[in-house]
Amino acid sequence: METVAEAISGVVLAVAVGMMGVLVSRRRKHLRLVVRVLDQRDQHMLDFLDQLVQSGELKPAPAT
């Protein structure tokens, strides 16, 4: 009887650890989607604007 209880508790522990892994993975994926708001095309545009500011052709907007 004790071995059955140990087996059941082992299975429950394995399922709990697996579920934690799935939840962490889902949250990491969501965080990547939220934080990564710029795609490659936008990054090229930002680099171009930075070059214009550094060359003096464009003045940065004042901070609000």
Domain residue spans of the chain: 27-64
pLDDT band for position 62 (50/70/90)?
Answer: confident
What mean pLDDT is predicted for residues 9-20? 94
- Please say whether the beta carbons of 51 and 43 come within 8 A: no
Mean pLDDT of the chain: 85
